Amino acid sequence: MFRMPPREATIVPMSPWWKNAVVYQIYPRSFADSNGDGIGDLAGITDKADYLAQLGADAVWLSPVYTSPQDDNGYDISDYDDIDPLFGTLADFDAMVAALHARGIKVIMDQVLNHTSDEHAWFQASRDKASDKRDWYLWRPAREGFEPGAPGAEPTNWSSFFGGPAWEYDPTSGEYYLHLFSRKQPDLNWENPAVRAELVAMMRRWIDRGVDGFRFDVLNLISKTYPLVDGVADPVTGLCMDPTMVLEGPRLSEFIQELNREVGFDESDLLTVGEFVMATPETAWKHTADSHKELGMVFGFDHMFLDQREGGMKWELAPLELPRLKQALAKWQDALASSGWNTLFWENHDQPRSVSRFGDDRPEFRVASAKTLGTTMMLMRGTPYLYQGQELGMTNAGFTEIEQYRDLEGLNMHTMATGLGLPQPFVMAALAAKGRDNARTPMQWDATPTAGFTTGTPWIGMPGNQAEINALDEVADPDSVFNHYRQLIDFRRRSSLAHEGHFALLLPDDPAVFAYTRGDGGQAMLVIANWSTDEVTVSRDSLPAMVHARPTLGTHGDPLLGADALVLRPWESIVYCIGDAWRLDS
C-alpha cells in the first residue's frame, strides 16, 4: 500500500553534504559500556557502529569526551587535546573514527569554547594575578564599596544558568571570576587574541585526526558586552535572570567569522552547528546565511519553551498548545527559506524525551506517537538531529526520589526550590517533567536488567521499561519505532523534495492536526499528522488534491479516506508525494 522510491532512485544531492545528512547524537556516558564500569565509552560506540549504519545515520555528534572532572558530564573540559580515561584513550578514539568512517558515518565533535573547567591548566595559571594567563578569563574586583567575598559583593548581579551568582570569589587573588554555568566552568575571555588562537589550533588538530565537524556549545555567549553591568534583579532570587544580558555580544559575528576562516570550515568541508541560547530566527539567519561566512546551522530553542510559563523558567510547567508549536517551527522554516539553514530536533541531552513530552508515552499510544513525532520532524526543511534512544521511542526516566538524579542543574534547582519552601511534590513533578537526566538514562539495547548497556551497575538509573522498549526487539520488528525512523531516513535520502522543497504550514490553528507541504505545483509532498489521542476528521477541501495519491509512508496502514474527508486515527501520520525527483505517483 505504501510506495517508497525505488532503491535505484537517485537524486542529485545538495551541496554541501551536511544539508542532506541525518545526524545522530550520542551521549557517550549513556550509550554503551564496553568494560563494565557502568559508564558508556568510546569502545562501546565502536561496538555499535553497525547499528548506527543500519539506522542510516550519516554523522554522529558526540557530546564531549575530552579530559574533564565531569562536574557537568564533560562540558567542563580540563584538556581539549586528550580523551577522558572514563571514555578511553586517543587510540580508542581513532578506532571509533575508523569504524564509523568505514561505514560512511562522519564524526562531529562537541566543542565547548565559552568556558573551560576550573581544573584546566590555563585557569590554574590564571588564578595568579601575575600570570600571562590572568587575562584569559574574566576576573573582576568586588563591587565598589563592598568587602571582597561579602554578601552582594559580586561584580554584577548576574545569575548563572545553573542557579546562584555567576561570579565566584577567589580568596587568593581577592577577585571574582565569571562563570555563566557552574563555578567549575569559568568563562574564557574571547577579547584576548591568544585565547582565540589557542582554540583554533586545537580544533585544527582534531581535524587532522579525522573529525568532520563541530557542534559549538553555547556559542552566542562567547562575545560579552562591555562594561559588564547589572541587569534587572528577579524579586525571588535577587539576581538578574535575564540571559539577554550575555547573549549576542558586539563581536560575535567577527569571532565566528574568524573561526570559520582560521579553522577552515569550508576547506575542510565541515559540518558546523552552533548552539544558540535563546536564538531568534533573525539571529539564526544572521549567523548561517552563506555569504556571512559563519556557521552551517544553529540550534534554536523556541519550540522547547512552549510547555512552560511564558517568560518563566523551564521548571514552571504549562500545557503545550499545538498551534503555538507549529507556528514556532514554521517561523524558523520561513526565516531560513532562501538563505541560511535549519536544524530539526525534538531531543538532545538537555531535554526530556519527546515521546513523554510532546507525544504520549502510555502503552496504547507510545509507538504511534513516537513514529508521528518522527514523521513530523524528519520531513521539514533542514538537517535532522536524532538523539540516542529517540529512534526507539525511549521515555522519560520516571524518577521519584531526589537521590535518583545526577545532573547538577536539576540538583541545584531542587536545593534552591526547597530552600524557598516550595512543596516537594511540586518540585519533584517539575524535575520529573523537565530534568536533563530524563535524556541521560542508559540506551536500551535489550530486555536484560541493565538493558545490555553494561555488565556492571549503570551510573544512573533506568525507566525500567526495557522489556518493551529495546533495540534488539525493535530492529527485528518491522512495525517498530526504529524501523519507522529507518524508513524515514531512507526516504529522505532519496527524496529531493525532502531536501529542497519549499515549506508551507497548513491548518495553522488546528489544535490537533500538524500538516505541511513541501514543494509546490507538480512536485509536492504533504505530511499530515494527528497529534492527539482522538480520531480527527479533516475535510478534503482543506487539503491539497494529492491526498488522492497512494501514500508514500504512514503509521497505520491504508488511510481512511472518504469522499469528503480524511479520518486520522489517534497519532496517525501519513506522507503523500507527487512528482518527486524519483517520479512515482505523477
Nearest to 346 by CA among 254, 411, 438: 438
Shortest Cβ distance from residue 439 to ligand TEU (Å)? 10
Nearest to 262 by CA among 178, 211, 193: 193
CA distances from 338 to 22, 285, 290, 342 (A): 21, 10, 10, 11
Side-chain-side CA neighbours of 539 within 13 Å: the count stands at 3
In the bound state with ligand TEU, the residue whose beta carbon lies nearer, of 273 and 443, is: 273
Site for ligand TEU in 432-461 (CB under 6 A): 436
Site for ligand TEU in 217-256 (CB under 6 A): 217-218
Of these, 181, 399, 531, 576, which contacts ligand TEU (CB under 6 A)? 181
Sequential DSSP letters for 527-571: EEEE-SSS-EEEEGGGS-GGGGSPPSEESSSS-EE-SSEEEE-TT
Nearest to 535 by CA among 509, 564, 559: 559
Shortest Cβ distance from residue 123 to ligand TEU (Å)? 15
72 binds, options Ca ion, ligand TEU, none, Cβ within 5 to 8 A by partner type: ligand TEU
350 binds, options Ca ion, ligand TEU, none, Cβ within 5 to 8 A by partner type: ligand TEU
Torsion of CA 221, 132, 66, 90, to 10 degrees: 140
Active-site residue, from 175, 275, 307, 510: 275
33 binds, options ligand TEU, Ca ion, none, Cβ within 5 to 8 A by partner type: Ca ion
Query: What is the DSSP-derived secondary structure letter of residue 27?
Result: -
Query: What is the DSSP-derived secondary structure letter of residue 337?
Result: S
Shortest Cβ distance from residue 113 to ligand TEU (Å)? 10
What b-and-e string marks burial along 455-491, b requiring 16 or more CB atoms within 10 Å of the CB? eeebbbbbbebbebbbbbbbbeeeebbbbbbbbbbbb
What cell numbers appear for 509 in the block? 490553528
184 binds, options Ca ion, ligand TEU, none, Cβ within 5 to 8 A by partner type: none
Site for ligand TEU in 390-429 (CB under 6 A): 409
How far apart CA 101 and CA 108 sit, in angstroms, is: 12
What does the per-residue mask of binding to ligand TEU show for 279-318, with x meaning CB under 6 A? Answer: -----------------------------------x----
How far apart CA 579 and CA 584 sit, in angstroms, is: 7
Nearest to 411 by CA among 163, 75, 168: 163
Q: In what order do the strands lie in the sheet with 560-561?
A: 536-539, 565-568, 560-561
Sequential DSSP letters for 157-215: -BBPTTSSBSEEEETTTTEEEE-SS-TTSPBB-TTSHHHHHHHHHHHHHHHHTT--EEE
Shortest Cβ distance from residue 74 to ligand TEU (Å)? 9
As a residue count, the chain comes to 586
Site for ligand TEU in 334-353 (CB under 6 A): 349-350
In the bound state with ligand TEU, the residue whose beta carbon lies nearer, of 72 and 258, is: 72
Residue 161 in the binding site for ligand TEU (CB under 6 A):
yes
Shortest Cβ distance from residue 559 to ligand TEU (Å)? 38
- Residues of this chain that interact with Ca ion (CB under 5 A) are 33, 35, 37, 39, 41
In the bound state with Ca ion, the residue whose beta carbon lies nearer, of 37 and 79, is: 37
Active-site residue, from 154, 217, 248, 361: 217
Shortest Cβ distance from residue 73 to Ca ion (Å)? 14
Active site residue 558: no
In the bound state with Ca ion, the residue whose beta carbon lies nearer, of 35 and 339, is: 35
In the bound state with Ca ion, the residue whose beta carbon lies nearer, of 88 and 374, is: 88
Q: Report whether 568 contacts 538 (CB < 8 A).
A: yes
Q: Which residue has the cell 524557598?
A: 420
41 binds, options ligand TEU, Ca ion, none, Cβ within 5 to 8 A by partner type: Ca ion
Shortest Cβ distance from residue 185 to ligand TEU (Å)? 6
Residue 360 in the binding site for ligand TEU (CB under 6 A):
no
- 309 Cβ contact partners less than 8 Å away, ≥ 6 residues apart: 316, 317, 318
In the bound state with Ca ion, the residue whose beta carbon lies nearer, of 41 and 307, is: 41
Residue 75 in the binding site for ligand TEU (CB under 6 A):
yes
37 binds, options Ca ion, ligand TEU, none, Cβ within 5 to 8 A by partner type: Ca ion
Active site residue 275: yes
Per CB under 6 A, residues contacting ligand TEU are 72, 75, 112, 161, 181, 217-218, 275, 277, 314, 349-350, 409, 436
- Mind telling me the catalytic residues? 217, 275
